Chains A and B, each alone.
Chain A
Amino acid sequence: EDQVTQSPEALRLQEGESSSLNCSYTVSGLRGLFWYRQDPGKGPEFLFTLYSAGEEKEKERLKATLTKKESFLHITAPKPEDSATYLCAVRGYGGATNKLIFGTGTLLAVQP
Chain B
Amino acid sequence: AQSVTQLDSQVPVFEEAPVELRCNYSSSVSVYLFWYVQYPNQGLQLLLKYLSGSTLVKGINGFEAEFNKSQTSFHLRKPSVHISDTAEYFCAVSRTGSNYKLTFGKGTLLTVNP
Chains A and B belong together in one complex: no
| A-binding residues in B (CB < 8 A) | none
